A and B are shown apart, each in its own frame.
Chain A
Amino acid sequence: MAALPAYRAVITGIGCTSPFGVGGYTLVADVLQANTTAIRPITGFPTDGLSSCLGAEVPAACLPVTEEGRRWSRLSQMTVLACRQAVAEAGLCGSDTLSQAGLVVGSEFGDTRSTEAFSLGFLRKGPLGLSPLLFPSTVMNTMASTTSMALGIKGPMLTLNQAGVAGELAVVRALALLHAGRAPVVIACGVDELFPLLYATLVQLQVLSPRGCGEEACRPFDQRHNGLVLGEGATAVVIESPAHARAREAPILAEVQSLWWRGIPTPPGRYPALRQGRLQMLPQAWRGAGVCPEDIGLAYLSGCGDPQHDALELACLAAAFETHRPLLTSVTHLTGDYGGLGAFRVAAAAVTVGTGIAPILDYLCQPMRADVRFVVQPVAPPPTVVLVHGLARGGMHAALLVERPQGADDGVE
């Protein structure tokens, strides 16, 4: 159970609002190819007096300056832009299909910036200081509802709240909606943003690098890792059945299959303990889905720089693959970490199966384990099957397979 053997579809569009700009497939490919980090000292808000100052911010210049866009919160702007780009890339703009489409948005914190602004209105001026325009943004579905209004999406609309793997879960749920026949096309989006209260609180809680230990940096899977460096952004992927995509002559970028989706019983905010039984979870997934692990050439991991997380994730992968050694990589050193980042990992995997481009972990001086293979040089030959793996505080564990489209030769179809 929970192996989701029949949840298989194709990705026909990618959209991304990121520290690297707004774009689609090509932007993601350029980001992976350049392998240049967007992490730098935060400029959007002061970090004076905090022991951390790094982040990967979406530039203000990327966000809309239209009359319509100004009414939306910053996080909703990011979401709308990403979804609009994905829909355009999928050739769905203005189509009847779009009005029947589903929308799933995954987020860890939602629009907490608006929640704080709304609360401050009361604390400063009492009931008269409360803004009725801000209140709807305090509910976490605001990004999805704004997007549905902006794009005219009228099918099922879900917002999923989850730490760490909200982006992966959005894609998994999108596949489930398709499989249940609830929509012909589903847009899955992962989104989260940097804002001062969250940043300062996570510094105080010793979650962010450097946690009083060495240089502040984002170094997943390196023995020098010392906590998270936050990022922000929104990534959307358009998902539909292969038959539906072919019928409307949509560009098929990759195939995607939901492989594993379970919650390991774990106290909120903590990682699951490393136990032998838990290391067998992915092999169960291979068996349940009829997947041969030797076919998997590369894996995108959710490595975030938290030593406990990184150790657990590597142990899971090493146990799952046994003697097979796929290449392991991550996008976190480029983008910073946030709850909705999993959707970017899925988009990156789609690019990797199409082009062979994958992020090089060039910061990796002291790898945590010697029995796994990280991407430390350009990938050759291009993998045809890529695993996207997510593991999070609270015990959520998700895995998807992204494959080169059937019938496609080398390169993007």
Chain B
Amino acid sequence: MSQRYARRDDRRVVVTGLGVVSPYGRGCPAYWHGLSQGCCILGPLSLFPTEGFRSGIGGEVSAAITRTLGRAHRSRATRFLVAAAEEAVGHAGLGAAELAAAAVSIGGAGGGMLEVEAWYWARYHQHENKRQRAALRSMTPAAQTDALACQLRIGGPRESPILACSSSAAAIATVADLIETGVVDVGLAGGVDTLTRLCFMGFNALKLLDTQSCRPFAHDRRGMSLGEGAAVLVLESWRHATARGAPIRAGVAGCGISSDAFHPTAPPTDAEGAVRAMREALARAHLTPADIVYVNAHGTGTVQNDRAEAVALEAVFGAGKVLVSATKSLIGHTMGAAGALEAVATILALETGLLPPTANLWEPDPAIPFDCIPHAARPCSLDCAMSNSFGFGGQNVSLIVLHPDVVG
């Protein structure tokens, strides 16, 4: 593949830093250890009561871990996000001058809603605490991005894209665009979402939560499990990264963005929008389907979504032509953060030559014509891989990442 990878321009995008907060704990090592061990961390939720709902489980960041994440007066989302970004910036070795000109784009869906819910619940029951009202300052997703920019003194273009579950994948795609078109040399891109009552109630109302741990691509799949976390990637132009001797962890070869214009919550059966996103990513990366060995699937575990994604993968790559896994089976669906967390998982798979597995896949769905890497990580040397993210409202984003050896 390396011989065929055509991009050699100075503005190609590379990844020089990664940071994660996940239900496994703080940091990329804990995240990768959990994923590569196939350790499903879904368990009973403690953040809020779940009586009366279909499911009481999810991928929660424990209180013990959360206590180690920055200032307690901040929203849970801000604490996750800042911790992930500090790790990424530390890996990349970015200094104050670089941060002052850097872009930052953080995708999410719920923002600081967990704390606002507490205020609103109390207000409804006429127990309003004026101190809880301070949570309103961090209610919107943009407030988390603002807090991060303030903390790290990031002074370039700033965005908070909201594309439901593909928000953070879109953040990566749009920051990569800013680098490729010469607006900035460096950008932080990622996402954050925490478990909230609102989200839990919503997927419960839609009957999309599995009562057990989710089982993407399984014949007996019954829905998703929710999770929470944050992931941040430092993206740079190849020229800028090499000029400062930064460690190149991966390349972002191409990103595709499309919309279905079909239904508020369901994908079309022919997954036409997802197909367009994947093909656009391939075209922008100057790659062919045969170059892709592994796809980190959106793989939520719902009957419709997994079927539609398999249809799209078959249309783009052909049945059985790529290895596929769904890391949501291990940590749950982290909503707006999922795209960035899965991009990090895909990069770590490239780095280590180990593909993370799909947990709970005891009975693969015969209608899914792919090896979905059940239970145990699979050794596999690969040069490039794809990460898919699809969101409510028909929001499709596909990212292609490259092993650093083929970036240049």
Q: Is B29 an interface residue (CB 8 A)?
A: no
Complex CA gap A155/B101 in Å reads 30
Complex CA gap A201/B140 in Å reads 15
Q: Is A188 an interface residue (CB 8 A)?
A: no
Name the interface residues of A105-159: CB closer than 8 Å to any CB of B: 108-110, 115-116, 118-120, 122-123, 126-127, 130-132, 135-136, 138-142, 144-146, 148-149, 151-159
Q: Tell me whether B202 and A135 are in contact (CB under 8 A).
A: yes
A-facing mask of B80-113, CB < 8 A → 1, else 0? 0000000000000000000001011000010100
Stretch at the interface among A12-20, A239-247, A264-272, A315-323: A264-272
Q: Tell me whether B157 and A136 are in contact (CB under 8 A).
A: no
Q: A132-B205, A264-B155, A394-B143 are in contact. Are A269 and B162 (CB under 8 A)?
A: no
Which residue from B149, B155, B260 sits with its C-beta under 8 Å from A154?
A: B260
Q: Tell me whether A265 and B154 are in contact (CB under 8 A).
A: yes
Complex CA gap A132/B263 in Å reads 14
Q: Is A261 an interface residue (CB 8 A)?
A: yes
Q: Tell me whether B143 and A140 are in contact (CB under 8 A).
A: no
The dominant DSSP class at the B interface is mixed
Q: Is B351 an interface residue (CB 8 A)?
A: no
Q: Tell me whether A263 and B183 are in contact (CB under 8 A).
A: no
Q: A139-B392, A156-B257 are in contact. Are A149 and B142 (CB under 8 A)?
A: no
Q: A148-B394, A162-B142, A394-B146 are in contact. Are A157 and B136 (CB under 8 A)?
A: no
Q: Tell me whether B163 and A157 are in contact (CB under 8 A).
A: yes
Q: Tell me whether A139 and B109 are in contact (CB under 8 A).
A: yes
Q: Is B52 an interface residue (CB 8 A)?
A: yes
**Size band of the B side of the interface?**
35 or more
Q: Which B residue sits closest to A261, measured CB to CB?
A: B157
Residues from chain B with Cβ under 8 Å of A109 in the complex: 140
Q: Tell me whether B155 and A140 are in contact (CB under 8 A).
A: no
Q: Tell me whether A205 and B202 are in contact (CB under 8 A).
A: no
Q: Is A169 an interface residue (CB 8 A)?
A: yes
Residues from chain A with Cβ under 8 Å of B103 in the complex: 2
Residues from chain A with Cβ under 8 Å of B261 in the complex: 99, 148-149, 151-154
Complex CA gap A151/B258 in Å reads 15
Q: Is A204 an interface residue (CB 8 A)?
A: yes
Stretch at the interface among A24-32, A176-184, A340-348: A176-184
Q: A123-B121, A135-B206, A160-B159 are in contact. Are A115 and B257 (CB under 8 A)?
A: no
Residues from chain B with Cβ under 8 Å of A127 in the complex: 52-53, 201, 204-205
CB distance from B125 to the nearest CB of A (A): 8
Q: Tell me whether B133 and A205 are in contact (CB under 8 A).
A: yes
Q: Is A396 an interface residue (CB 8 A)?
A: yes
Q: Is B212 an interface residue (CB 8 A)?
A: no
Q: Is A303 an interface residue (CB 8 A)?
A: no
Residues from chain A with Cβ under 8 Å of B159 in the complex: 160, 162, 169, 173
Q: Tell me whether A180 and B109 are in contact (CB under 8 A).
A: no
Residues from chain B with Cβ under 8 Å of A135 in the complex: 201-203, 205-206
Q: Tell me whether A145 and B181 are in contact (CB under 8 A).
A: no
Q: Is B288 an interface residue (CB 8 A)?
A: no
The residue among B103, B147, B149, B158 with the most chain A CB atoms within 10 A of its own CB is: B158
Which residue from B162, B185, B198 sits with its C-beta under 8 Å from A110?
A: B162
Q: Tell me whether B121 and A262 are in contact (CB under 8 A).
A: no
Which residue from B133, B150, B182, B204 sits with its C-beta under 8 Å from A395?
A: B150
Q: Which B residue sits closest to A153, measured CB to CB?
A: B261
Q: Is B393 an interface residue (CB 8 A)?
A: yes
Which residue from A123, A161, A395 sits with its C-beta under 8 Å from B140?
A: A161
Residues from chain A with Cβ under 8 Å of B158 in the complex: 262-263, 395-396
Complex CA gap A142/B202 in Å reads 14
Q: Tell me whether A155 and B265 are in contact (CB under 8 A).
A: no
Q: Is B391 an interface residue (CB 8 A)?
A: yes
CB distance from A190 to the nearest CB of B (A): 14
CB distance from A127 to the nearest CB of B (A): 4
Complex CA gap A323/B117 in Å reads 51
Q: Tell me whether B141 and A136 are in contact (CB under 8 A).
A: no
Complex CA gap A395/B140 in Å reads 15
Can you show 8 pairs from A to B with CB atoms below 8 A apart? A127-B52, A127-B204, A145-B259, A145-B394, A151-B261, A262-B157, A267-B147, A394-B142
Known: A155-B259, A159-B163, A163-B143. 5 other contacts (CB 8 A): A132-B202, A145-B393, A157-B394, A179-B181, A268-B143
